[in-house]
Each structure stands twice: as structure tokens, then as C-alpha cells.
Amino acid sequence: MKVDGKLTRSIWLEPDGWSVGIVDQTVLPHRFATLRLTTLDDAARAIKSMQVRGAPLIGAAAAYGICLALRADASDQNLERACAALSATRPTAINLKWALDEIVAVVRNQPREARVAVAYRRAAEICDWDVVINQAIGRHGVKLIEDVATRNNGAPVNILTHCNAGWLATVDFGTATAPIYTAHDKGMKLHVWVDETRPRNQGASLTAWELGQHGVPHTVIADNAGGHLMQHRMVDLAIVGTDRVTAQGDVCNKIGTYLKALAAKDNDVPFYVALPSPTIDFTVSDGRAEIPIEQRGGEEQSTMTGMTSDGRIETVRVVPAGSNVANYGFDVTPARLVTGLITERGIIPATREALVQTFPERATEAR
Ligand code: MRU
């Protein structure tokens, strides 16, 4: 997508052909800054500190992390060490494991001297594939927006989204935002309700920023506002992303997604989840019982960071010193609350049958 008019991806290979460029997402929306990763430790730190975040981008960054590790030492032991270090960065998004498995599968049987080139090739393919997938999600998902637009008789379509499942969370286009960008680029009238997404405010900081860069009308709301808007028919459609979809169609996504799905069900608002196939984990069924939920540092909950009126970035405490805080990163929305899954192969029900039928090769791999 464009930043100040210039086509930009969230991760890229630098002109030197080996170091890796990223957008530093911890300083948005106040500053657009890029960083150069040159070592495995740089890549692991970028994922852990959420300079890169969002399930597909975590996978892409991990793939390049392996490339950087192999450049330093292409031995089996170092490959294992790199996989262990990257796997430990964030536990919930399955795309991390998927990307590591993809790289290891192509590198393992290569002689040491061939490994670096093979790994870089695969990492680039993972990135390009993500872009192609998201464009397909956009083509399928836009039909949902077109249907509502027809019913709305020309009034803007109101879409609610949670967290950031936009281009910053992927390599480009985003998942939940792909149908939105596609509709906007076709000239359709739409408006996006952006959940602020406490505690890290990915909605307020990142989704609002990227929608603004692309000229998509949007309004940031407190996380608790969604139910009220749905009761008042101010939301036509909810579209969110996901960090892991189980074999039975349960959806793990940023904390608060479940509450939006409950409110949507109660108000007959269609609740769709956009996902690339690497986000499906056929090895787990019951998301609530089986998906590890990341718990992050309490300071994300007890403080807020923003820009002062004189342009300084400051972090302030918003919870009394001494109060306990808890910071659960994700929750699981049971499949029964999901209207449909927007995938690169079409919109399907959130059921085991539909997932297996649509992605038989992934289901077979997992056996
Ligand atoms: O903790 P984050 O910011 O990595 O969480 C991101 C999300 O929950 C996204 O909705 C999800 O990864 C889908 S991104 C296409």
C-alpha cells in the first residue's frame, strides 16, 4: 500500500540483497520509521517487541530471521537454535510455526553452502505468496460489501474491525482490510468503525493510520462501543483477522474479538473472519482448550503512550501504583458465532467439513 504516495510493504530485502527492512510499528502513528535487521537476534527482538506484529508478518519476519541466522552459520545446530529462538518469541499466531516449517523443509536436505540462497528464495516466496493470498481475500470479500451496498441503496456500508489486520499485519493489503481496500478502490462508499484495541491500541494507532493513508473514511471508537453501535443498526458487517483458526473453525484473534462476535450474534450483524490458509491449524480442534494465549507485560495495561501537544512521545501511568494488572493478548471466538471465513479460495462456513474440503492438502499434512 502507499505511504505518503510511495508503494511500501511492511517487510523487504534491502538493496544489499541480504539485510531485511521493516516498518517500526512501535512508533506509529506518530512517526514513520524503518529499521534494518542484520542478525537472528535482531529478527527475534523485532517480533518479541512488536516492531513487527500481526500473524502473517510475524511468519514472514521469522522466515527472514532464519536466513540471517544461516548467513552467520549454516550448520544443523544453528538452524535448530534459530528455530527455537524464533518460536519462543510469540506463542499464539500459528503463522510463525508455519513459516519456520516451510523454511526448514527446503533447507534441511541442502548442503551447507547452498542453504543461505535456498532460504532467502523461500522467504521471498512466503512474502510474495502472502500478497497474492490477500489480494484473493479482497476479491472474495468485496462481494459481501457489494451485497450490503445494494441493500443500502447507495448509503455507505459501515464495517467494524478489531485490532489491526491491515497491510501492516501482513506483507501487504492485509486480510480484514483487503475487502475494504478493494471496495474503496472500486469507488464504493464505505466507512470503517475502528476498535481502538487496548492495551496496545493497534486499531487506534495502526488501522486508523493505514486507512487514513489510503483515504478510507473511518472513525476510531472505544473498544466498548461496538455493542451499542450494533444495537442501533450502525454496523452492517464486522470483518476481523485471526492468529489461528482451528480444524473445527474456532477463531483466535486479538483480545476483545469474542465480545464483538457475541454482540454481533445478538444483533444479527454478520461476523466474518478473513484469513490466509497458513493461519489454519488443523492439529487443534477446540480453540478455547488448545490454543496457548499470550500473556504480555502488565505495563502495557497500566500505561498509555501518546504524543504531547508539543510533539513529544510520552508514556503515562493510568492505573494506580500497586493495583494488579493482567494482560491477555488473545481470545477465542467459537465457530458458532462466525458467519463465514473469507479465505483465498472463497467464503466458506466456519466448519471442519468446509475447511477440509477447501484446503485438503493442509488437512492431510497435519495428519
Ligand atoms: O498482537 P498482534 O498485534 O500481533 O495481534 C494481531 C492480531 O490479532 C491480528 O488481528 C491478527 O494477527 C490477524 S493479522 C492479519
The reported pLDDT for the residue numbered 154 is 87
Given a contact cutoff of 8 angstroms between Cβ atoms, the answer to whether 184 and 214 are in contact is: yes
Residue 274 alpha carbon, nearest atom of ligand 1: 15
CA quadruple 251, 252, 253, 259: dihedral, nearest 10:
70
Strand 271-274 with 340-343, pairing: parallel
Verify whether ligand 1 is closer than 6 Å to residue 144 (CB atom): no
Biggest alpha carbon distance in the chain? 63
The reported pLDDT for the residue numbered 188 is 97
Burial class of residue 151, CB neighbours in 10 A (0-12, 13-18, 19+):
exposed
The reported pLDDT for the residue numbered 320 is 98
Give the Å distance between the CA of 240 and the centre of ligand 1. 9
Given a contact cutoff of 8 angstroms between Cβ atoms, the answer to whether 80 and 279 are in contact is: no
Q: Is residue 130 among the annotated active site residues? A: no
Verify whether ligand 1 is closer than 6 Å to residue 329 (CB atom): yes
Rounded mean pLDDT for each run of 10 residues along the chain, 367 residues in total: 92 98 97 97 98 98 98 98 98 98 97 98 98 98 98 96 98 98 98 98 98 97 98 98 98 98 98 98 98 97 96 96 97 98 98 98 89
Verify whether ligand 1 is closer than 6 Å to residue 269 (CB atom): no
The reported pLDDT for the residue numbered 291 is 98
Verify whether ligand 1 is closer than 6 Å to residue 339 (CB atom): no
The reported pLDDT for the residue numbered 367 is 83
> Best of 202, 239, 330 to mutate for ligand 1, by most ligand atoms within 8 A of CB?
202
Residue type at position 20: V
Reading across the β-sheet that carries 280-281, which strands appear in turn?
Answer: 280-281, 244-246, 251-254, 330-333
The reported pLDDT for the residue numbered 365 is 86
The reported pLDDT for the residue numbered 41 is 98
Verify whether ligand 1 is closer than 6 Å to residue 166 (CB atom): no
Give the Å distance between the CA of 199 and the centre of ligand 1. 13
Q: Which whole-number Å values give the CA distances from 148 to 28, 32, 204, 270, 273, in the listed order? A: 32, 35, 25, 11, 17
- How many alpha carbons fall within 13 Å on the CB side of residue 171? 25
Q: How many CB atoms lie within 10 A of CB 307?
A: 12
Question: Of all protein residues, whose CA lies closest to atom 2 belonging to ligand 1?
Answer: 54
Question: Of all protein residues, whose CA lies closest to atom 6 belonging to ligand 1?
Answer: 54
Give the Å distance between the CA of 244 and the centre of ligand 1. 10
The reported pLDDT for the residue numbered 332 is 98
Cα gap 70→75, rounded to integer Å? 7
N-term to C-term CA, the chain: 37
Verify whether ligand 1 is closer than 6 Å to residue 56 (CB atom): yes
Give the Å distance between the CA of 241 and the centre of ligand 1. 7
Q: Residue 319 in 3-state DSSP?
A: coil
Cα gap 166→245, rounded to integer Å? 18
Q: Which whole-number Å values give the CA distances from 358 to 132, 149, 243, 346, in the listed order? A: 17, 28, 19, 8
CA neighbor of 329 nearest in space, from 37, 25, 155, 90: 90
